[in-house]
Amino acid sequence: MASLKGGKPVPLMVKVSPDMTDHELRAAADTAMECGMAGIVATNTTISREGSLANYPESGGLSGRPLKERALNVLRVLHRHCGSTIPLIGVGGIGTAEDAYERIRAGASLVQIYTAMIYNGPYTAKSINLGLLDLMARDGFKSVSEVVGADSRKP
Ligand SMILES: Cc1cc2nc3c(=O)[nH]c(=O)nc-3n(C[C@H](O)[C@H](O)[C@H](O)COP(=O)(O)O)c2cc1C
């Protein structure tokens, strides 16, 4: 927590790039935890055009579906390293309840959507929330907190 003199504490989070190496991600996470940051947001847009991203020749940060697998992988790296020591916020290519569920199972306590909101409108959040309830009921989860990191607890 950071706070202005005499002011209320302000939660500060650090946001990581999907273009960081796993080693850089773990080092950034260590610093974030040492500094008492309130969370780590994974991820920002990518400037990489490696692999399938070569299909998007425009310059600048790429968001949305093409970013999904890399952002999910970054989250997995962070969750393996941090466990439940610090909240992780999953973002990057989330557009459906299945995407959000996958991200929460991979260790996200919260998810953020940006590009999907632009393409699908403000009801995206509602449809994701309703879909999440169905997916949780299907799998026998009673609360989102039970879902957080569930993949890493699989036998
Ligand atoms: C037009 C645009 C502007 C953005 N501006 C910011 C910004 O100012 N700060 C920031 O941390 N991330 C910014 N982002 C990144 C998003 O917050 C988000 O991390 C990224 O787009 C991946 O999520 P998405 O696939 O749901 O869009 C921006 C993304 C877009 C598309």
CATH number at residue 92: 3.20.20.70
Structure confidence at residue 5 (pLDDT): 67
Q: Report the separation in Å between the CA atom of 8 and the middle of ligand 1, taken as the mean of its atom positions.
A: 27
Please state the separation of Cα 7 from the chain's center in Å. Answer: 29
Helices 97-105 and 68-82 cross at an angle (nearest 10°) of 30
Asked whether residue 153 is assigned to any structural domain, the reply reads no
> Percentage of the chain with pLDDT > 90?
90
Closest atom of ligand 1 to CA, residue 91: 23
**Does the pLDDT of residue 154 top 90, yes or no?**
no
Is residue 10 predicted with pLDDT exceeding 70?
Answer: yes
* pLDDT, mean of residues 16-43: 97
Which tokens in the block code for residue 109?
């306590």
> 67: burial class by Cβ within 10 Å (0-12, 13-18, 19+)?
buried
Q: Residue 68's pLDDT band (boundaries 50, 70, 90)?
A: very high
Give the list of residues 6+ apart from residue 114 with CB closer than 8 angstroms, or none: 63, 91
| Number of folded domains that form the chain | 1
Does residue 34 form part of some domain? yes
Is the pLDDT at 1 greater than 90? The verdict is no
- State in Å: Cα 6 to ligand 1 middle: 32
Dist CA 15 CA 8 (whole Å): 22
> What average pLDDT does this structure show over 11-36?
97
Q: Whose CA is nearest to atom 8 of ligand 1?
A: 44
Q: How far is the CA of 138 from the centre of ligand 1 (A)?
A: 32
Confidence of residue 2 (pLDDT cuts 50, 70, 90): low
Average pLDDT over residues 75-102: 98
Residue 67 resides in a domain:
yes
Position 124 scores a pLDDT of 96
Residues lining ligand 1, Cβ inside 6 A: 15, 44-45, 63-64, 67, 91-94, 113-116
Range of the domain at 99: 13-46+61-145
Flag the least confident range among 7-16, 33-42, 94-103, 114-123: 7-16
Give the distance (Å) from ligand 1 centre to CA of residue 91.
9
Looking at ligand 1, which residue's alpha carbon is closest to its atom 9?
44
Residue 136 CA to residue 125 CA, distance in Å, equals: 16
Which pTM does this prediction carry? 0.94
